[in-house]
Structures are given as C-alpha cells and as structure tokens.
C-alpha cells in the first residue's frame, strides 16, 4: 500500500507541531513555588515552559522533591526558588543540577520580616544566634509579588535576551492586574474598623499581609507548619482571643484543624473560613488574584 503524499505531508507537519508544542524551542523553567510558577507563566508567555514542582495545595514546608522533580529541575535553564530558607532541600537540587542551571531565590531580594522563635516550640527552622528567623511567607503581600514579577522579568530577559520585549510587555500587563488587586484589597479592608483587624490563623503565615493592611496576627503554630504549639502558647492564645473578643478564627487549606477546633470550643469564636496560607491551591485559590481575593474577603467578612 502506498501512502498518498498529502497524507504523508500532514503527518510530518503534525509531528513537527507536536515537537514544538512539547517545548523543543521553549525556555525551560522549573519552579519550587506555586506563586512563582504563575509569575513565570504570565511573564514568560509563549516563550517558556514552566514545570511547577511544588503543586497547588501542597504544603511547601513539608514538600520533598521526588526523583522526577529533580530530573525536571536538572533539565531546566532557570530554577525559581522562594528563598528565605523555605527550601530546606536545596542541597538535593544542587546535587541534581550539578550547579548548571541558573537558580534564583526570588524572596531573598525582598525585605524580610524577622521574628523570634518561641523557645518552647520545636522549631524546624533556621534561627540566627539571637533566635530570630526570617519569615518566608513574602507572597502574602501583593506588593512583594509585584517586586517578584520585576525580578523574574529581569532574569528571563537575561537568560533569553532575544525575547526581552515580550517579557517587558507581559510583565507590564501582569503588574497592572496586581496593582488593581492591591487597590481592591485596600478598599475591602477599609470596611473593617482597625480595632477588629485581629487575625487568628493556624500557622504564622500572614505577617506580610498584616503589615500591608494593618492587621495583628495571633498564630497557633509558628512560621513552619512542622512546628508544634506548646500547651502554654495555646493557653496564652485562648486568653488573648477572649480578652480581645476576636469574633472568628481561620483554618488553612493544607492543615489539620484539630487545635483550631479546640480553641474555638474554648473561646466561643466561630470558624471564619479557610485561607490559602502557603501559596496557590484548588478552587478560588487556583490563581494568585483569586487566592488574595478569597483570603481578604473571607477575613474581612468574618470579622465584621
């Protein structure tokens, strides 16, 4: 049987388009942060293929790279990291890539909030000599995500200068949306009187948001979800919630609500809803814009 030439031609063209769709000519980026995955996709547009190794809804404090994740990181031209000591498995990444890929710890270029570790807390975090640690949750500030977008734009332009104009244009469009998001959040928070801006959360993930929008955070667990709150800390928190007459406390999409439920029983506060603390998730939180709108609306509407 002979294959008609036109059919052969269309098979060849189909194969070629499959090859280019599989990323033969695209800049390969590997990201260990769900928020950076979105930024790289938005700014990189058609020129990049981004492997999001920490997946939406995954707890980045407990995440460990699989052999397949490390293989993907090793084949990337650019590796994006959250920074601020969140990636406790960096040695594995370095070993897998042999230091060949450019890796960028985006958060390290952003100003840090520092906090004291509770000495009772079995903290699995790297504290300095004075027991202070850097808060890794920079993405809960929209302004930080704007800065991160500029950092990613500049790095993509450096690695792939031929497409600089497109990266500039894509970044401008994404930054405009982030600016609109920040303005919306400010208006929404303004509905809540200052003395009601008390945020009780499962772990200490919202200090950057609190600083931007004037909240005080009372966290059950420390900055890592791997820490355990002491009985003393929980007792103090219960006193504080009663004294401050906090109306609602919030759960998180990746955490077990056991201790929160106990505190709710003791204080009579209600469950305010579930927040996305550690990056993108499913549902509302599948985009950064949706995640922030969900968090801010849930907080403001429950505390009113």
Please give the residue ranges that form the binding site for Zn ion (CB under 5 A).
205, 278
- Closest to Zn ion by CB, 135 vs 182, is 135
Would you say 111 and 86 are in contact if contact means Cβ atoms under 8 Å apart? no
Give whichever of 212 and 278 is closer to Zn ion, judged by the CB atom: 278
Rounded to the nearest whole angstrom, what is the least distance from the CB of residue 221 to Zn ion in the complex? 9
Residue closer to Zn ion (CB basis): 201 or 267: 201
Q: How far is the CB of 279 from Zn ion (least distance, A)?
A: 8
Cβ proximity to Zn ion: between 101 and 148 the closer is 148
- Whole-angstrom Cα distance, residue 254 to residue 304? 25
Q: d(Cα 271, Cα 281) in Å, to the nearest integer?
A: 20
Burial of 202 (0-12, 13-18, 19+ CB in 10 A): buried
3-state SS of the chain: helix, strand, coil percent to 5?
Answer: 50, 15, 35
CB of 222 vs Zn ion, minimal distance in Å: 9
**CB of 136: closest distance to Zn ion in angstroms?**
7
> Tokens 């406390």 map to which residue?
249
CB of 65 to Zn ion, least distance (A): 18
Cα–Cα dist 2/195, whole Å: 81
Distance CA 87, CA 225 (A): 13
278 vs 289 by CB, closer to Zn ion: 278
Rounded to whole angstroms, how far apart are CA atoms 195 and 278? 26
CB of 4 to Zn ion, least distance (A): 60
In this complex, which beta carbon is closest to Zn ion, that of residue 252 or of residue 289? 252
Reduce the DSSP state of residue 180 to 3 states and report it: helix
Of 291, 259, 264, 286, whose CA–CA distance to 275 is shortest? 291
């Amino acid at each position: 049987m002979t294959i008609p030439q036109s059919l052969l031609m269309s098979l060849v063209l189909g194969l070629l388009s499959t090859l280019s769709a599989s990323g033969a000519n695209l800049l390969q980026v590997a990201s260990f942060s769900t928020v950076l995955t979105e930024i790289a996709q938005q700014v990189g547009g058609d020129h990049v293929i981004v492997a999001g190794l920490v997946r939406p809804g995954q707890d980045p404090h407990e995440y460990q790279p699989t052999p397949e994740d490390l293989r993907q990181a090793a084949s990337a031209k650019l590796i994006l990291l959250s920074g601020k000591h969140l990636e406790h498995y960096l040695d594995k990444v370095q070993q897998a890539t042999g230091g060949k890929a450019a890796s960028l710890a985006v958060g390290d270029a952003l100003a840090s909030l520092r906090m004291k570790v509770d000495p009772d807390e079995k903290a699995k975090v790297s504290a300095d000599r004075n027991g202070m640690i850097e808060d890794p949750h920079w993405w809960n500030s929209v302004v930080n995500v704007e800065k991160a977008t500029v950092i990613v734009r500049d790095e993509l332009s450096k690695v792939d200068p031929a497409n600089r104009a497109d990266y500039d244009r894509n970044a401008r469009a994404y930054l405009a949306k982030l600016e609109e998001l920040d303005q919306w959040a400010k208006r929404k928070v303004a509905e809540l009187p200052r003395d009601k801006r008390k945020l009780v959360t499962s772990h200490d993930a919202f200090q950057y948001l609190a600083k931007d929008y004037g909240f005080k955070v009372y966290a059950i667990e420390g900055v890592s979800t791997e820490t355990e709150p002491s009985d003393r800390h929980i007792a103090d928190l219960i006193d504080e919630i009663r004294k401050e007459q906090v109306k609602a406390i919030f759960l998180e999409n990746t955490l077990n609500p056991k201790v929160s439920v106990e505190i709710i029983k003791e204080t009579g506060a209600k469950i305010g809803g579930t927040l996305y603390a550690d990056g993108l998730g499913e549902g509302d939180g599948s985009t950064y814009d949706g995640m922030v709108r969900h968090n801010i609306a849930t907080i403001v509407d429950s505390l009113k």
